Structure 1
Amino acid sequence: MKIFALIENISNEYGGPANSLPNMLEAIRSELSIESLVYSISSSKDERNEFIERFSIPWIRCQKIGFDKIKYSHELNYKLSIDLNNDDLLFSNNLWNYPAFLAAQLSRKKDIPHIISIRGSLYPWSLGQSNIIKKIAWNFFQKKSLQQASLIHVTCSDEYKAVRDLGITSPIAIVPHGINYDDYQNLPKKSNAIEYLGLNQNKKYILFMSRLHKKKGLDLLLELWPELVDKFPDWCLLIVGPDYSNYTDSISKLAIENDIVHNIKTLGMLTGDKKKCVLAASEFFVLPTYTENFGVVIGEALAAGLPVITTTGTPWSEIGSHNCGKYINLSKENVSQALQEMMSMEEKPFNIMSDNAKLLIKNNYSWSAQAIKFGQALDFVLTKKPAPDVVFLYKEKPANHIL
């Protein structure tokens, strides 16, 4: 058996799935001896993924035709139709567009299992974005695909509830993502990292690292920042990630208008050594996001020993219970208060948070453990016998919901 993983995009700039999917596939290969292939839609043959390259996972990039939102690819249909065998398994990692439609169609046509990882796509906030397109897709194929799936993969109980609230009764496995803890140990010294990145040694740095998108709460953070700089002029906000919404120009304008050019820096998308340096250079991490099904970047920051400020829109309540940051309801006032408390914190309690952050990831979020859980999910798909160590929640009476 091979796992055929479908995803609309898996280049480095794509965010969490570009990290979590290849790491999960590699852990499955290591723990379960199951090989996999990744199929994605590509606009360029030059796209790269550092984890696919590291693990030598076969990656088939298929050319897109037509509108970007639809992600249609005749090449994807052709190659999958030829490559899939009856003993293989389809593992799709997006909703609403052609790869999601094709996976469901081929699963029925070839009578092979289909696991769908929804990756936060069914939270109410996410459903509210591009609402008309999603309503059309829901009625055309998406609801049927989910309802006929062999298994739906979610990463937390809130995501499970989001699926059930839409009336979907397919089996669900809750399996979190993992974090490569060892990748974030032995980081460069702070002063060396700051020098490598060309930053000011006299500043203290707060890190925002994610897609530059409204969903991530970046608008709110930027609105607050000039006021915070007045109180904390020695601090600088580092903004790291791919820009899909023309934020970079807006940030430059904000910096000039508020005379905070030296208190806010955009560094673009960083990987490898540069990513490690920006983590090493920073005092703590902030992601005031509206919603995340997991938030891989949060786990990476914690593994690096950065206390984290994030919201109840993420499944990271352990940040509060393990004293490794601030876990808050999303509001301008709460984000401002949390930032000011962290920026004012003395060294000893700050160091305790840092140590707690590392221990949380080391003890609870290995990829090996998640791969074993996912393997039990595969057993369920193939044998219909759920395993005790995976949370399977299915066939309850669904709540009423109209999309």
Structure 2
Amino acid sequence: MSKKKILVMVDWFVPGYKAGGPIQSCVNFVFAMKDDYSVYVLTTDTDHGESRPYEGIESGRWTNHLHPDIQVFYSPKASLSARSLKEQIDAVQPDYVYLNHLFSPMFVVYPLWLKFRGRLKGEIVLCPRGALYESALSVKRWKKTPFLNLFRWMGMPRRILFHATNQREKEAVLQHFPGSKVLIADNLPNMRQLPFAGLAKQPGTLKCIFIARIVPIKNLLFLLTAMEKTKDVRVELTVIGPVEDKGYWEECSRKIAALPGNVSVNYLGPKRNDELPALLAQHHLFTLPTTGENFGHAIFEALLAGRPVLISDQTPWLSLAATGSGWDLPLGDPVGFTRALEEAARWDQPAFDKWAKGAWEHAARFIKNPELHDQYLKLFA
């Protein structure tokens, strides 16, 4: 009996990494589903914010270079068109089309339009990936509102299944599209965990790492302000991620230049996903006071590496203190972030080892959850 076909449509895919978490979500998805379905990925041949195609990738044809059971088509971005996408959709003849994010004209709106016109037979499963959270909609709202109105006009609730990655996202979907059919399946994380590895820790010093796109929603400026107010400890911060908002980065740079002598910042720019585990291993604490995350792959990667985290309460990673794996604090309490930084800086070796192992064990429990895979099979039943 032949497997049913899933066609994943997404603007960016590996070897891209500058679009952040959604790429990793799709990579984890295709590897998790390849044994149960024939998996195809339709994407572009150029990373987010770049003009030159990926090196070493053959575009314009289906290839299984990623895995023998995963077919990927890298559409040349320079000649991307509705017609070229329709040709590849027709070539696959998918039973299911899995759409990612919400405001992509070619990889979300166009296939929805095809469904609306009766020109796409496969069932559509759409994962907004946090795009309907207020923190995300508040950015360029003028641009996104017409899309939402178009989706309602097309009668999306009657035509597709929404994939929410948590209860909060399900509520956001129903708020904007009442009557929609929504199923929850937790975000599929990186399932490969290395053995626990420690790191030397001296009381009074703390090496922190921030991994995210440089945009206001990731809240780097908030973190710098919290670090600025630390007393009687030395805090080092490594910042990793592409600068997407130059004005915001200039504001952060001014703050960095004015930091007191006990706080230092080193910006390394963007890094590939395969470079992150080694960088995480060199730091004591992962920091991300984000205003909203659908999942937070960088957060999970830190836990997976056995590094406690200091994050906001605007992610699915809550009640971290109860598991001894970090803090999830309200953004309305900036002093709380400063206190947490000072507490982590004062850790001696046994204290750090306890928190680090707590983080590692928290991630280990998550990836061993037997319900994760079953949740995805229900999406495509």
Name the TM tier (shorter chain): 0.7 to 0.9
Distance 2:83 2:135 in 1: 33
Residue 120 of structure 1 aligns to a residue whose secondary structure is coil
Aligned equivalent of 2:100, options 93, 96, 103: 93
Aligned equivalent of 1:170, options 177, 180, 183: 180
The answer to which of 282-291 and 156-165 deviates more is 156-165
The higher-RCO structure (CA 8 Å, 6+ apart) is 1
Q: Which runs of 5+ in 2 are unaligned?
A: 58-63
Residue 92 of structure 1 aligns to a residue whose secondary structure is strand
**Partner in structure 1 of residue 61 of structure 2:** none
Matched positions, count = 358
**Partner in structure 1 of residue 23 of structure 2:** 18
Q: Structure 2 vs 1, CA of residues 342 and 259 (structure 1 numbering), >3 Å: closer, same or farther?
A: closer
Shift of 1:237: 0.4
Partners of 1:217 and 1:289 within 8 A in 2: yes
Partners of 1:294 and 1:314 within 8 A in 2: yes
Partners of 2:95 and 2:121 within 8 A in 1: no
Give TM-score scaled by structure 1 length.
Answer: 0.79
Shift of 1:301: 0.4
Shift of 1:138: 1.2
Q: Structure 2 vs 1, CA of residues 222 and 317 (structure 1 numbering), >3 Å: closer, same or farther?
A: same
Distance 1:317 1:166 in 2: 25
Shift of 1:54: 4.8
Q: Which runs of 5+ in 1 are unaligned?
A: 67-71, 192-201, 380-403
**Partner in structure 1 of residue 40 of structure 2:** 36
Shift of 1:129: 1.2
The answer to which of 203-212 and 213-222 deviates more is 203-212
**Partner in structure 2 of residue 2 of structure 1:** 5
Distance 1:181 1:28 in 2: 13
Distance 1:48 1:15 in 2: 21
Aligned residue identity for 1:62: S
Aligned residue identity for 1:361: A
Task: Say if 2:73 is the partner of 1:73.
Answer: no
Q: Structure 2 vs 1, CA of residues 333 and 294 (structure 1 numbering), >3 Å: closer, same or farther?
A: same
The answer to which of 56-65 and 213-222 deviates more is 56-65
Distance 2:45 2:164 in 1: 23
Q: Structure 2 vs 1, CA of residues 254 and 312 (structure 1 numbering), >3 Å: closer, same or farther?
A: closer
Distance 1:13 1:343 in 2: 31
Percent identical: 21
Task: Say if 2:57 is the partner of 1:45.
Answer: no
Shift of 1:173: 1.4
Shift of 1:302: 0.4
**Partner in structure 2 of residue 83 of structure 1:** 91
**Partner in structure 1 of residue 60 of structure 2:** none
**Partner in structure 2 of residue 218 of structure 1:** 220
The answer to which of 239-248 and 10-19 deviates more is 239-248
Aligned equivalent of 1:61, options 74, 77, 82: 74
Structure with the largest fraction of helix: 1
Aligned equivalent of 1:335, options 310, 334, 337: 337
Residue 172 of structure 1 aligns to a residue whose secondary structure is strand
Distance 2:177 2:28 in 1: 31
Shift of 1:80: 3.3
Give TM-score scaled by structure 2 length.
Answer: 0.83
Partners of 1:28 and 1:372 within 8 A in 2: no
Residue 210 of structure 2 aligns to a residue whose secondary structure is strand
Aligned residue identity for 1:242: P
Shift of 1:261: 10
**Partner in structure 1 of residue 327 of structure 2:** 326
Task: Say if 2:245 is the partner of 1:242.
Answer: no
Residue 320 of structure 2 aligns to a residue whose secondary structure is helix
Task: Say if 2:149 is the partner of 1:139.
Answer: yes
Partners of 2:40 and 2:72 within 8 A in 1: no
Q: What does residue range 118-133 of structure 1 map to in structure 2 within 5 Å?
A: 118-133=128-143
Aligned residue identity for 1:20: S
Distance 1:248 1:268 in 2: 12
Partners of 2:164 and 2:183 within 8 A in 1: yes
